Structure 1
Amino acid sequence: MLSPLNFLPTSRRVAVIGAGAGGLVTARELGREGHQVVVFERNTRIGGTWVYSSEIESDPLGVDPNRTRIHSSLYKSLRTNLPRELMGVRDYPFVPREGEDRDPRRFPSHREVLKYLEDFANEFGICKLVRFGTEVVFAGLEEVGKWRVEFRCENGDVDEDLFDALVVCVGNYSQPRVAEIPGIDGWPGEQLHSHNYRDPEPFRGKVVVLIGYSSSGTDICQELIGVAKEIHIAWRSAKTELLDTESINSNVSFHPMIESVHKDGAVVFQDGCTVSADVILHCTGYKYHFPFLETNGIVTVDNNRVGPLYKHVFPPALAPGLSFVGLPFKVVPFPLFELQSNWIAGVLSNRIALPSKEEMLADVKAFYKDLEALGKPKHRTHDLGDCLPAYFDWLAAVCGCPAYEEWRKEMYIATHMNKVANLKSYRDDWHDNELIRQAYEEFRKYATNEGSQNHSKLSV
């Protein structure tokens, strides 16, 4: 709830961990609320996972704790699976810009998303808040109510600093989850996680078993068609809604999950089908991973449920000093970051009041009970899915922001339906021009002040 109009604003010193999209948007919202912000970023530039690297980790499967770490999970050809109209923050729309190295497409490449984030950071002066080349190795609560952050600098020295609050914005795409497969230790083939997939060429002429058929699985499958000898997709879901018949090539087969693998290279699926495979490619998502965070067991990661968290953001026992931005998935990320961090900033300044710790914990327990009643597994706790519009509306209401616009909700649904029907071509063939018109009509409200934005194209 919003605090009374005569509330006394409080300015706090806040540490933001990560200068990816979540950290950048959070830094802006905190700064607008009057807080003093320090952003810790272990890399030498902003952008997080949107900074593409052709390199892969020393363990392609991503399970060796001593492997070399690569920050990005991008494959070379990646384009967004959401239209740019949905992706930008409200007052800084993600519209096409002039320039020979810019990508004006509605579903642009990862390079264009990075440029948008760089434009955003420059527009709002965020880079001056970032300590680059600085990896947080410990963050814990001091007895005096301060958060102590220890960080390793580029020269290897470890230093520390104290903060009133800590916001974790490290992203969800660095610690791979892999499928558990009986007999895998003796299987002679190659394994990798999609985190370390870059392009299809290494799979030319090979028999590939691809586990998972969500966002990365569908994209990678499309790239492998015509390159791999055979593609066998192991998919946990029994649904067939994503099976675009136009994209199913003679060398693509769908199966239930893998039952076992064997020393002769055989992969046996639960339907009894057996294939001799060269590669198993895990498109199985990621684990939440906060190795630096010490909460004395108050916040845990249990089967990929980070909890207990009130509305996916505040741990009741440590609120408002600790918060998380960007944990939910199957979302529209940048607007999610904006609303969550606006809430956090308002709570820290006393503009917005949280419920009592007891009320927040009761809400969390009720939420978990509802998930259990729906049969939703624990590892999908932060999967918003169909609940996304209601969650956005709740955040907007508690922050005192305008409600999530209807055109956004309709465009999100239309994009999903178009993807289901046209998996190969949905990024370049759409039929929601009226929604696009509504989007740009709204964007023009933010382009009236030419000094604040230099968007070069605000027409459909």
Structure 2
Amino acid sequence: MTLLDAVVIGAGQASLATAHALHRHGLDPLLLEAGSSPTGSWSRYYDSLALFSPARFSELPGSAFPGDPDRYPTRDEVVAYLAAYAERLGAPIELNTPAVAVTRTGDGFVTRAGDGREFTSRLVVSASGGFGAPYRPNLPGLDAFAGTVLHSADYREPAPFAGRRVVVVGAGNSAVQIAVELAQVASVTLSSRGPVRFMAQRPLGRDLHEWLHRTGVERLPLGRLLRGRTVRVLDDGRYRAAIAAGRPDWRPMFTALNADGVVWTDGAREPIDVILLATGYRPQLAHLADCTGPNGRSALDASGYPDHDRGVSTAVPGLGFVGLEGQRGIASATLRGVGRDAVHVVRRLAADVRAVSPVGAW
């Protein structure tokens, strides 16, 4: 069986950035992608999604985002950019090939795919990102609710919800963006444990990401401190104005659900047609459930999250991660952040296997 330099799990933004970094170290990766295209989760997001960062701060290493660098690219533009990046990268990608199990061996790793094939490699980088598994909180009475329950991962556009009573659960960027869009055709309440907190998208006339870049804040090791916390909603003023006008309105998190609807904090009961959970995602790391290091330590902790030091496994030599929320900094799970993290992780992994020195760019 051929011993590969590296197997990269996934073929989205984190995986493509990882493959680029591996190439620069003279290593040839194989990418295993569960989906049908090398665009990660982007092709599955809702139709109106637009980036909250300008194109110039939404690029992968070695390839500028085409068009006006100060615009905010749409979902479809990101999908096209990633597909073109993958083609230019030239790394072999096995589509419709989910990784189901990774085991450590004396020579490196064996990664088993869903179709039964096995791939041996010196290194494995799990770069399926932090958006593979929609998080559905265990809300009181959710199982008894007879209406429609869906996650924002299932939402595409507002037309099917016209005239319906909808509660959107969440207080992040996606929750607010979806709720405001739905409020154009439906009666919508945004409900969360705390009020929506906003942050100006263009303070002092410049995009926030430019300030983060100029000041170096985005490179500070703040990831672990921020992981799991609700991020402020970036706003140019329209979302704050929409909520202030009651389209949608905001209410504290309901106390329970029943068959017909919700019970609000004041005890009032209201019939509801749809509960839309904009409650984020968790990493999809089931393929590492049985991956252990030489001393028997698992790659994952008791909660299913990887034990790692800035993306390098502390339990399993030769195993790395790219694309996790808060992996190294506030941008680790974003288009602008995965490239820096991939360089860091690959440099450390390559040193461990005495790989060749970095070669030139494309």
Q: Per the shorter chain, which TM-score range?
A: 0.7 to 0.9
Q: Distance in 1 between matches of 2:308 and 2:66?
A: 34
Looking at structure 2, the residues matched to 347 and 254 of structure 1 have their Cα atoms a distance apart, in angstroms, of 46
CA deviations over 1:212-268 (Å, ceiling 9, x no partner): 02121011012111201x2111112245445944213445221121211223x1311
CA 1:85–1:105: 2 relative to 1, 3 Å: closer
Question: Would the aligned equivalents of 1:258 and 1:268 in 2 still touch at CA under 8 Å?
Answer: yes
Tell me the matched-pair count: 308
Give the counterpart of 1:152 among 100, 114, 125.
114
| Partner residue, 2:162 | 204
Q: Deviations over 1:290-324 (max 9, x none)?
A: 122222462225557x232112x1221213x1111
Q: For the structure 1 residues 90 and 187, does the alpha-carbon distance in structure 2 shift closer, same or farther, using more than 3 Å as the test? A: closer
Q: What is the rounded CA distance, in whole Å, between the counterparts of 1:26 and 1:216 in structure 2?
A: 26
Matches within 5 A, 1:57-136: 72=44, 74-96=45-67, 106-126=71-91, 129-136=92-99
- Report the equivalent of 1:292: 287
Question: Residue type matched to 1:133 in 2?
Answer: N
Q: Which structure has more strand as a fraction of its residues? A: 2
| 2:281 alignment partner, SS class | coil
Q: Deviation at 1:12?
A: 7.2
Matched to 1:300, the amino acid is: L
Q: Which secondary structure does the structure 2 equivalent of 1:300 belong to?
A: coil
Partner in structure 2 of residue 217 of structure 1: 175
Structure 1 pair 214–226 and aligned structure 2 pair: CA distance change class (3 A): same
Contact 1:346-1:352 at 8 Å conserved across structures: no
Q: Report the identity percentage.
A: 26
CA shift digits 1:174-195 (9 cap, x unpaired): 3111122222222221111111
Instruction: Identify which of structures 1 and 2 has the higher relative contact order when contacts are C-alpha pairs closer than 8 Å and 6+ apart.
Output: 2
Task: Please report the TM-score for the alignment, with normalisation by the length of structure 2.
Answer: 0.77
CA distance in structure 2 between the partners assigned to 1:183 and 1:198 by the alignment: 26
Contact 1:343 / 1:352 at 8 angstroms: preserved in 2? no
Letter in 1 for 2:258: H
Partner-residue secondary structure (3-state), 1:327: coil
* Matching residue of 2:190: 233
Q: How does 1:303-322 map to 2 (within 5 A)?
A: 303=303, 306-311=305-310, 313-319=311-317, 321-322=318-319
Secondary structure at 2:26's aligned position in 1?
Answer: coil
Largest Rg, 1 or 2 = 1
> Are 1:268 and 2:268 matched, yes or no?
no
Aligned to 1:138, which of 101, 109, 132? Answer: 101
Which ranges in structure 1 are unaligned for 5 or more consecutive residues? 1-10, 52-71, 98-103, 354-399, 401-448, 453-460
**Counterpart contact for 1:149–1:161, Cα < 8 Å:** yes
Q: 1:121 to 1:283 in 2, by over 3 A?
A: same
**1:281 is matched with which residue?**
276
2: CA distance, partners of 1:254 / 1:268:
15
* Inter-CA distance 351–174: structure 2 relative to 1 (3 Å threshold): closer
- TM-score (structure 1 length as normaliser): 0.61
Check whether the contact 2:37–2:83 (CA below 8 A) recurs between aligned residues.
no
Indicate if the aligned counterparts of 2:299 and 2:315 stay in contact, CA closer than 8 A: no
**Deviation by residue 1:76-101 (Cα, 9 ceiling, x = unmatched):** 1211121111111354221318xxxx
In 2, Cα distance between the equivalents of 1:240 and 1:16?
A: 37
Cα RMSD for the two superposed structures = 2.8
